[in-house]
Structures are given as C-alpha cells and as structure tokens.
Chains A and B, each alone.
Chain A
C-alpha cells in the first residue's frame, strides 16, 4: 500500500517546521545584539502558517491520510487556527519580555515553535500514536520553558513540579492507551470505536478509560489533578504561563474530547460520570481556592482550573444524560475558543500592568487606573469577560454551555447546572475584586515602574487582537457559531 502525503494539507505544520529551523539557524549565526530576529522569524512563521489554513478552509474538503490516522477536516482546521492565533499572540507578548530580561531568546522561540507544532499535529490526530506524540510535543518543551528564569528559585520549582507530575501523568496515559490497544488490537479512533462498542464492559476496559482520564486530567489541570498548576503558573515566565493556560490546556482538551468522542463513545457509561465529577470538582475547588488568592497570577491559575471545569460541563452533562454528544461537543469547543482569547488577553494585561506595578500582588495594583488608564480599562474588559458579563465574549461561552445543558436534560445534569451557576457567581466575586482594586481603591504607594511610555508595539498588538476578538465576538456571537458548525463536521466525517 502506498502512503500518499497531501503536502497542502500539512502545509501549516511544514511552515512551522521551516520557521523552527530558521530560528535555529539565526540563533546560531547572529551576534547577541541581533538575536531579536529570531522572534521575528517565530512571529512571521505562526502568521504565515495561517495562509494555507485559509486555503484549506475555502476548499473545505476532508483530507484523510495514513489509514485515517491523520485527518484534516474543518474541525481540525478550526483548532489549528486557534492554536496558531493564540501562539501568534503569545509570541507577540514574549518579544519584549524575553529580550528585556536577557533570557535565552533563540532557544525560547525554538521550543515554543516545537510546542506549537505538537498542537497542530494533535488537532489532526485520529489515532492513539499520533495523538500521544502530539501531546508529548506540546508539553515536552514547556517543562523546560517553565524553568526559563534560571536565576529564580520559583521558576526552578515551577519547572520541576510540572515535569515530575507531567511525566507521571504521561506514564499513566500511555499505560491506559496500551491496555486499550491490548484489548482491541486497534489504534485508530474509528477502529477503537467499533471494537469497544462491540465488546462487553470488562474491568480492564474500565481501568484503561480511567487511566486515560487521569492522564488527560493532568494536562488540563482538572481537580484533583491540578496541584502543579498554581505553582507552575506563578514561577514560569508570564508569556509561558499564558501559553500553558491556553494552548497546552486546549491541546489537552482536544486530545481528551477526540478520544472520548471518537474512540470511546461505546463506553460512555464509564467516562461520563468521571467527567461529571471532574467538572463539578474543578469548578468548585478552583473557584473556592481562587477566592483566597492575593497574587494575580495565582488567581488566574485557579480561575483557569475553574474554567476548565466549565468547559467540561456540556460534554459531561450530555454524556451522563445519554443525550446527543454533538451539541455538547461544539459547545465545549466554542467555550474553549472564547476562553483562549480572553485568557490570553488577561495575561497580556498582567504583563503590561506589571511594567508599572512591578508586583504580582493584587493589593499593589490598587489605583492603577490613575496612572495607566488604558491598562486599567483592559483589566476590566478581560476580567469581566472571564466572569461572563455581557456584552463581552465570555457571556456567550457561558450561554452556550448552559444551553447545551438544557438540551441534555436529566437529574444529574440539573445538579451540574446548579453547581455551574453557583460557581459562576463565586467567580464573578473574585474577578470583580481585581477590577475594584484597579479602579476604585486608592494607591497605597508610589508605583515603582515606568508608565509614561506605552508598552512595546508587539505587546500592544497582542492586546489589541485579544480585546478586539473579545468585544466583537461578544456583540456578534454568530461569528463563534461557525466554530460550532465546523465541530459538527467531525460527527459526520468521523
């Protein structure tokens, strides 16, 4: 059998690989003061990779390669678009942060590009091996990037915690996959779906599925597998934290949804209650812990744990109720996309604000609106959006979530909906607390940092893109529903 490769279909991956090698070459040859060109190459690469994506989207064909293990359909395209846009924003946020602190630049962009490559592969993965390699390539470079601030003990702790727990979860994930393969002899999702639907439920199958959930649970930092997240988020360089909380979390979600939805629909009675519990626990514990945080990055860390819970709600609810998963799937993907944009914005504004405050403590941010009103406005926009206040994009995400729960129906679903509603209120409290501190409280001290000159152009561009998307999607939710349509394709095309 010949294994034809459609080079247009993998063009985004090839462009990222090309810019990765370009970064490597530039880093090797350029003198130290000119290393910023590596940043340009990375930014340009992630933007250029969007072009073939647009071509593929216009063509709209589903391309399946290698025995159906690598598929480029609309769903994959939407996710690749998400990964590339968020990577683009993260690159923009990194430029000055990395250069001004004199961290290694070329290697930084190279590792980040490798991680982006992993997420692109993951979006197309339709068998266990490609999926596993993809998820490893997403997280592998991040273990190192989390420790990039080498002189800082917190950064070392961040890297080490993330690495040890990440590797443990990988081992569990892989064990689950190998048991699944041992039981069925299949690795493609379609083959697994057929085989597991036909086979009676056995302890080994249950164990395999639970192991998979534990493994993915670590990657998306769902409670009770979230312990690494706050420390890692706090210690890592802030752009990496943004990337961790958006791209790598999204990658974990995509992997989990793909496996559960495409490969294991036949054993939903095993994973549905588990996901239900994960969702409820993540929301509740994430939010309750966030309430007590005084550091803005830790607050965002716990909030992102809670948001992961919200994202799981539609899927878990539909699966528990035995309803059609298609609606829930697209709701989760919509939530994911909107969350990505607004969370990136929140981290961007933390970087911008920290130039003035030189501190991560929320109390030190008091009165920021007096000296840097633009940053203060952005704080309000992104935090209210995360809380789900209309007309910002966050409300639509929450709306879609609750709607899909309504459609699913059933007692367990209603309980989950109530938990989600209570948590949405708790979340509003702590998000609003930050906004209050910035806008209403009086400054307790002189701001140590500079605030006369505006932040660098790249950071402003990153913030402009995030704020633009957050507001526009909030006003015109129809824009987000094309995501939903695209993710329905996967149900038809499989």
Chain B
C-alpha cells in the first residue's frame, strides 16, 4: 500500500467522522426546532442564527461538567460502556456510500468509508453490538432503574433485529435479480438502483419492496430506542433508563451515539430503499463540480427525509406499553417480514425462471 493510498483511506475515515459529527449537531438542533414547530413553540433561538449553535453550546456545557462516578459502579464496565455505544454507530456508517466515486490526482476516491463485499452483514453485526453498551451501562451502574432499562433495551433490540434482518434479506434477494448475481455490498446495491423505469420512475427498491421498507423503518426506530419505542428511557417508569447514573461527558457520549445511530440507520434505509446517492446529475448543463457534488446532495436529502420521519413520529405518537411493544415485534413485524420475504421471493422466482407449471 503506497502512502497516497493510505492517505486516501485515512482521509475517507476522517471524512465520515467529520460528516457524522456535523450531522449530529444539525440533527439535534433540527429535532428541537421541528418538535417546537409541531407543538407551536419557538424552540432554541438564542445561540447563533435560528439557534443553530445551541447544540454546540450544550456540548460545551456537558464537556465542562463534572462526570460523577457513583460509589457502587463496576468501574471498568461503567467507563467502557459509553465508548461501546459510539463505536458501532460510527462503524455502521463506514459501510454507506454517500456519493459517486470521483477521480483525484489519478486515484479513484470512492465516497464510502469502506467497501466490504459483505457490507450488509457487517451493518447487522454492528447494530447488534450496540446492545452491549446499553446492557453494560445498565448493569455496571449498580442501581435498579438503569438495570431495568438495560434489560428492556436488550429484549427490544433482539426482538426488532430479527424483523430488520428479514426486511434486509428481502432487499438483497430483490437486488440480486437486478444485476449479475446476489450481493451484500452496499455500494453495489446502490449502483443497481441507478436509472429509471419508463423514463421517470426511479429504480428504487422502495417501489417493489414497499412492505419491507415499512417493516425496516419501524424496526430501525425501535432499534435506536426512539419514540414511540423509547421504553428504555421511559421517564415515568425508569427515571432516565440505562444512563440514569451517567453525567457530564459520559452522558454526552450516549447522547451522541443515539443521534449518530439515527443518522446511520436512516442512511442505511436511504441506501437500501431510496437509491442512496443515485439521482439526476445534469452533466450536460451544469459545471462538472456541481454534477460531482449532486449525488451527495441527493443522498443527504434522502437521509434527512427519513430522519424527519423519526422526529415526526416522536411528535405524533404516544409511547407504547411494554406488552404492546413485544406484541408488535413478535406477532406483527416478524411474521409480516417472513410472509413478505416468501411472497416477494416467489414472485421474483416466477419472473426470473418462469412459473413451474408454465
């Protein structure tokens, strides 16, 4: 590996890191503004124009606050848990292609953290790793409410991960019919969604896989422990949930992880169902640098459309009861995902190989 190649790899990782931090700052501000709007309030409006620096101010405040360590904690795990929350969230985004590859100084730069040929499997593996942070934070705090929050989170994550995985499988099977053989690489899956049907309908997986999209969306909302599935931190029942005993920067890490997760998962959803960075680039009519940047713009727009759904649901729906949560997961989403997988696979089989009786 030459120095230039290594530099590019390093640069790509740095790019992803920066993108996520900026996106988080924007996300938190956007959530507060959107919620405020929906509730006919003003929301943050002091720091910077439209209060956009509010998140930065909050971050600084948390950074300078004392990180209290309660006496009964299991120190090693207690310190480790916040990092375990952030790392998988970052790594998930590494798999997402966020723009069209371009050439710089003879080296092709793919706008993706890393292109693994088993990218989707890696995403699933990492999203299941995120549970460790919650369960360890809850356990190591040495206190009842965090423990209950941690246990709830584990059950919830396991329940919804199955539905999420099955929805992903449906997409993988579908996208195998769109190109040469099956693929688990997100880069490849995006490329297969490039183009249009009948000249104007984009070839997004959303249209043929609409049920999988709905299941996936519900599952990622539950996976990220957001309303209406935020029983993990239900204030009335559990004080603050698994991070009750965390304060200062350690608490900020959990907060950061939550918002990175929202962004990463939305990006995965946009990649799988909304065609990722694919979209018109108008290469003939606009300058080259604009057509190089446009794919990234499309990608961000699509991702934010899904992030918006997160905030919208939070403003609209009340929190579920715990048994309703489990019923929805096990008796609703998982059977629905299985049935959808079977139905869509059979119909694709017919299209690909013809009906067995025909």
Direct A–B contact in the complex, CB atoms closer than 8 angstroms:
no
